[in-house]
Chains A and B, each alone.
Chain A
Amino acid sequence: MNKLLIPLIIVVVLVLFNSMYVVQEPHQVIITQFGKPVGDPVMTPGLNFKTPFIQKVHRFEKRFLEWDGDPNQLPTKDKRLIWVNNYARWRITDPLLYFQRLQNERGAQTRLDDILDGETRNAIAKYDLVEVVRITNREPMETEVAAEDEVILEEIYHGRDKIRLEILANSQKRTADLGIEILDVEFKRINYVADVQRKVYERMISERQRIADRFKSEGQGEAFRIRGEKDRELLRIRSEAYRKAQEIKGNADAEATNIYAAAYDRSAETRSFYEFLKTMEAYKATLDKESSLVLSTDSDFYRFLKSGDSQ
């Protein structure tokens, strides 16, 4: 009795354990019986039961899964080679279909590689590089450096977001019968290939040089302008002062002349007296020991020399 009990317990435990299975929170499960799917996929997590031994449990992720593409060298419509590295999120929507078509995640990733890489290539080749880089035609803000050399931006007609959505839509069509759904595709990295990169750097350097040269010449120009302004100011100040001084002097001279005239030009008498006075002053000033003087006895001074009464 005792000898039979132990194997019996072991068998019961085995059967019991084989008829129970746990569905984890992030998982969904399909049950197959001799390889044939049985019932609906089990979506609710927790403890579940199945027919032991003959039914098999296949677990699949319920969560959003990642797909990270390899960086690809792709040509754009304007013949520029760029590295494009995008990623996608996807999930298993129909585990049964998924199980039938793709078997497991490795199969799914490979298929996604084909679909997404292909659609990305198609989309990139259809558009110019700017379309892939920018989203909108927004006006850039004013920056200190770019104030004068306006960056001329090519207008875009589609933009990164639209291209992304195009890839997504096209890929979604192709995954519809695989039991999976692509939720989102994003460009993670877009970069120039090395050759182009070097040329871009060269262009950036020359652009900076242009800006630097502009600054230098702006500085010089401004300095010249200030010097010119300074010279003009100097000339203005000096000439204005001269004009003012001359005006003042002229006015004074005129006033003095008026005063003299008022004093000397009162009558015939004052005029002759002034003449006499000035003549006397002139004699004093002009006659010195170097002068030779020939005087006639007719002169007023010597008229008494010949006779005490010449009158």
Chain B
Amino acid sequence: MNDDQRFDRGPQGPQGPQIPEIKLPQFDAGKLRFIVGAVLVLILAFTSFYTIDPEETGLVLRFGKYVRSAEPGLHFKMPFGVERVLKVPIQRQLKEEFGFRTVKAGVKSQYSVKPYQDESNMLTGDLNAAMVEWVVQYRIADPYKYLFQVRNVEKTFRDMSEAVMRKVVGDHIFNEVLTVGRAQVALQVTTELQELCDQYETGIKVDQVVLQDVNAPDPVKPSFNAVNEAQQEKSKLINQAQSEYNREIPKAKGEAEQTIQEAEGYALDRVNRSQGDAALFTAIYEAYRKAPAVTRNRMYLETMTQVLPQVQSKIIVDDDLKGVLPLLNLNESKSKGGE
């Protein structure tokens, strides 16, 4: 479009100056002065004030030289670019992400990791590789230094963070970085990063370094899961054995108790019976002693009376008769007895 217009005007070009436009200032000088004046007033108006938001501070530069800073609110400055204002959000907490980027923040934030593995891949003290993702939260404590001491301060700050994190991780072994050493690593990075920031005069105050995911590199991950599984397996085996123990030992203790109680019972039985028997014997004996011969005979005869009727084959032999034995048919009497 623009080109077309230019081409259109091309042929009219030579005719342009011939139109008496140059007469314009001459024949309406007053109006021109007014227009120029109005434009100047407008520029004056728009370049002589500025506002600073609540989280910001303003640095006013006069001909490039820092002259004063401005608190939040409406302020005036010298117009026409004599004074310029740079605004720095000193109250805002800023953060830099390493090894990942928040693609969409929110309740369920989305992260992108893949393209940033160069940032997170680092060596540990035992020469293993670890993937460390972290966040540095910081504030601009000194806006003058932040703007005028270091060029490209954000890039510098990122480089510093990476260097410090790698240095600290390099001084810890892999297992520490993954587990118990996390807090210590974060703390040490915070301290050393702050020292470096002060050394470079970045004007940055490091609030916190937060370790996010710390992992083994992807190809190694499955073997890490295997370790976890083995740990579970270990607990499982121990628990199983323990439960077997718990199932059998109390039962065996009960059984043992039973055996002992039975023995106690046997003991009581035995003693009581013997005492009973002894008492019985003593009682009978006491009676017997009063008439030993008669009682003895009575008891003998009573027993015989009781016993003999039951015995079916009885052979009574007179000692004076000799030769009766050959007549005794033992077999017959035995078989008779058997019936």
B333 interface hit (Cβ, 8 Å): yes
A276 interface hit (Cβ, 8 Å): yes
A286 to chain B, nearest CB (A): 9
Residue ID in chain A nearest B179 by CB atoms: A143
A1 interface hit (Cβ, 8 Å): no
Residues of chain B within 8 A of A276, CB atoms compared: 296, 299-300
Contacting A at CB under 8 A, from B14-69, are: 61-66
Helix, strand, loop or mixed for chain B's interface? helix
Q: Mark A255-273, 1 if CB is under 8 A from B, else 0.
A: 1110110111000011001
Contacting A at CB under 8 A, from B257-305, are: 257, 259-260, 262-264, 266-271, 273-275, 277-279, 281-282, 284-285, 288-289, 292, 296, 299-301, 303-304
Contacting A at CB under 8 A, from B192-212, are: 199-201
Alpha-carbon distance between A44 and B148 when the two chains are bound, in angstroms: 13
Asked if A146 and B230 sit within 8 Å, CB to CB, the answer is: no
Residues of chain A within 8 A of B259, CB atoms compared: 241-242, 244-245
Residues of chain A within 8 A of B133, CB atoms compared: none
Q: With A140-B172, A252-B267, A300-B300 known to touch, is A145 a contact of B179 (CB < 8 Å)?
A: yes
Residues of chain A within 8 A of B128, CB atoms compared: 200, 204
Residue from A208, A253, A257 within 8 A of B227 (CB atoms): A208
Asked if B199 and A184 sit within 8 Å, CB to CB, the answer is: yes
Q: Which of B3-11, B89-97, B134-142, B309-317 contacts A (4 or more CB under 8 A)?
A: B309-317
B102 interface hit (Cβ, 8 Å): no
Asked if A216 and B230 sit within 8 Å, CB to CB, the answer is: yes
A3 interface hit (Cβ, 8 Å): no
A104 interface hit (Cβ, 8 Å): no
A182 to chain B, nearest CB (A): 13
Alpha-carbon distance between A79 and B257 when the two chains are bound, in angstroms: 73
A188 interface hit (Cβ, 8 Å): yes
Residue ID in chain A nearest B201 by CB atoms: A64
Residues of chain B within 8 A of A214, CB atoms compared: 230
Contacting A at CB under 8 A, from B310-331, are: 310-319, 328, 330
Helix, strand, loop or mixed for chain A's interface? helix
Q: With A25-B66, A140-B173, A145-B179 known to touch, is A188 a contact of B162 (CB < 8 Å)?
A: yes
Residue ID in chain A nearest B316 by CB atoms: A295
Alpha-carbon distance between A118 and B117 when the two chains are bound, in angstroms: 27
Instruction: List 9 A-B residue pairs with CB atoms under 8 Å apart, sorted by A's residue number.
Output: A64-B200, A151-B126, A190-B170, A216-B230, A248-B263, A253-B270, A256-B271, A259-B271, A276-B300
* Residue ranges of B at the interface with A (Cβ–Cβ < 8 Å): 61-66, 118, 121-129, 147-152, 155-156, 159-160, 162-163, 166-167, 170-176, 179-181, 184, 199-201, 216-217, 219-220, 223-224, 226-227, 229-231, 233-238, 240-242, 244-245, 248-249, 252-253, 255-257, 259-260, 262-264, 266-271, 273-275, 277-279, 281-282, 284-285, 288-289, 292, 296, 299-301, 303-304, 306-308, 310-319, 328, 330, 333-334, 337-338
* Residue ranges of A at the interface with B (Cβ–Cβ < 8 Å): 22-27, 44-47, 61-66, 68, 87, 89, 129-130, 133-136, 138, 140-146, 151, 153, 160-161, 183-184, 186-192, 197, 200-201, 204-205, 208-209, 211-216, 218-220, 222-227, 229-230, 233-234, 237-238, 240-242, 244-249, 251-253, 255-257, 259-260, 262-264, 269-270, 273-274, 276-277, 280, 283-284, 287-298, 300-302, 305-306
